[in-house]
Amino acid sequence: MIARWVRAVAAVAGAMAVASAQDPALPKPAAVATAAPQDPAPGAASQLERTIAALQPSVVKVFGASGLQTIRPYSSGVVVSAEGHILTIDQILLQQDRTRIVLHDGSVHPAKLLPPEPKLGVRLLQIDASAVPGGLRPLWPAADAKARTGQFVVALGNCFRLAEFEEPLSATFGVVVGRANTALRHRLAAVAYDGDLILTDAAINPGHEGGGLFALDGRWLGLNMKSLAAQETNTLLSAAIPVADLLPYLERVVRGQQAPQPVAVNKEPAWLGVVLFDKAGRQSPPAYVERVVAGSPAAALGLRADDLIVRIDDFSIRNCREYRDVLARFGAGQKVQLVWKRGQQVQQAEVTLAKEPAK
């Protein structure tokens, strides 16, 4: 039907054009100006394209040992020093003498494995910088770098291992959609990092892990993590570790700066007064409260059975074992900030730990 209508309109238009040409009294059809598409003028690349091009030399391809079907042997990394230090995610199979780095110029370099940071799930590698003609293009995290919700971002990495040798890395574009505290989500127990993740809708595909998340002006905002699966909505979340949280590890390993050690003091063991639902098994369960001891600090705070303890001061609590380990850091009489979940509500309050009464 539509095709017949189009042909009819074309026939009428053609007849009008012929009649107009034969009869000077009829109006002539208006001339339509056409032009061939023009290539962009030199130097007319967008800000986003310029940012991606400028960042390519600072993000590298990482290849580890292969042979296990369940673990990918490739990821990405960010150059963080002119001496050859490269930061990557510690979630692929990396082996000494079998890990190699491919730079933006296509050159391949063996990498030495440096001590990882288990609390962040990241690791530093190092290549021989003297073997790189022209030197490296390192990035260093800014202590005040923060990603804000609604901010446009670009993620760089070796998506699906598409880039080989000097081929440029993949870039995905999106916005920051929010932040998520892993300590309040015990289903993210497989995530080593326990702070506020940056969540974006910029696709983080296999191979993007360890690459960088950047603002459109090139500021380094985060280190790409593996995508997180949200089983409730059957979706994947793209996440990144904020660069400010990476600084202590980088300063300690790259720059040799040691963190101040706390002064050891004698203290009575701390007691909160809760009995956790901790049944024997291969994995320690989340720190759900089974019972609150009458007259205890927990009772004075108003804790109840089925509350989930998720944080004590700056320490995340993802299971019963972590609760015991963290509580052992404190002494009786110390005040701490306790965070717990009751249903879907997150609550927090200050509590003074006590000495456990004699049985």
Q: Is the dihedral of CA 283, 242, 121, 103 positive or negative?
A: positive
Q: Quote the pLDDT of residue 36.
A: 41
The mean predicted confidence, pLDDT, of the chain is: 81
How many Cβ atoms sit within 10 Å of the Cβ of residue 85? 22
Domain spans, the chain: 57-131, 152-253, 274-352
Q: What is the CATH number of domain 274-352?
A: 2.30.42.10
Q: Is the pLDDT assigned to residue 27 strictly greater than 60?
A: no
Q: What is the average pLDDT across 25-47?
A: 47
Q: Is the pLDDT assigned to residue 73 strictly greater than 60?
A: yes
> E strands within 80-189?
85-89, 100-102, 108-110, 112-117, 122-126, 152-157, 170-181
pLDDT digits (tens, 9 = 90+) for 310-347: 889 877 788 898 899 889 889 999 999 999 999 888 89
Closest CA to 171 of 185, 154, 152: 154
Q: By the 8 A CB rule, do 288 and 315 touch?
A: no
Q: Per the structure block, which two tokens stand in for 288?
A: 């759900």
Q: Quote the pLDDT of residue 187.
A: 47
Cross-strand partners of 76: 61
Q: Per the structure block, which two tokens stand in for 75?
A: 């990821």
Q: Say which CATH superfamily domain 152-253 falls into.
A: Trypsin-like serine proteases (2.40.10.10)
Q: Quote the pLDDT of residue 18.
A: 40
Cα separation of 337 and 293, whole Å?
19
pLDDT digits (tens, 9 = 90+) for 193-213: 767 889 999 998 889 999 999
Helix (H) or strand (E) holding 239: strand 235-242
Q: Is the pLDDT assigned to residue 189 strictly greater than 50?
A: no
Q: By the 8 A CB rule, do 65 and 99 touch?
A: yes
CATH T-level fold of 57-131: Thrombin, subunit H (2.40.10)
3-state class of 247 per DSSP? helix
What type of residue is 56?
Q
Task: Say if 57-131 and 152-253 have the same CATH topology.
Answer: yes
Q: By the 8 A CB rule, do 246 and 223 touch?
A: yes
Q: What is the residue whose two structure tokens read 């127990």?
A: 189
Q: What is the average pLDDT across 157-168?
A: 89
Q: Quote the pLDDT of residue 71.
A: 67
Q: Give the range among 99-103, 224-228, 294-298 with minimum mean pLDDT.
A: 224-228
pLDDT digits (tens, 9 = 90+) for 245-260: 999 999 999 998 765 5
Q: By the 8 A CB rule, do 197 and 182 touch?
A: yes
Q: What is the average pLDDT across 130-139?
A: 95
Using pLDDT thresholds of 50, 70 and 90, give the confidence band for residue 243: very high
Q: By the 8 A CB rule, do 79 and 136 touch?
A: yes
Q: By the 8 A CB rule, do 161 and 210 touch?
A: no
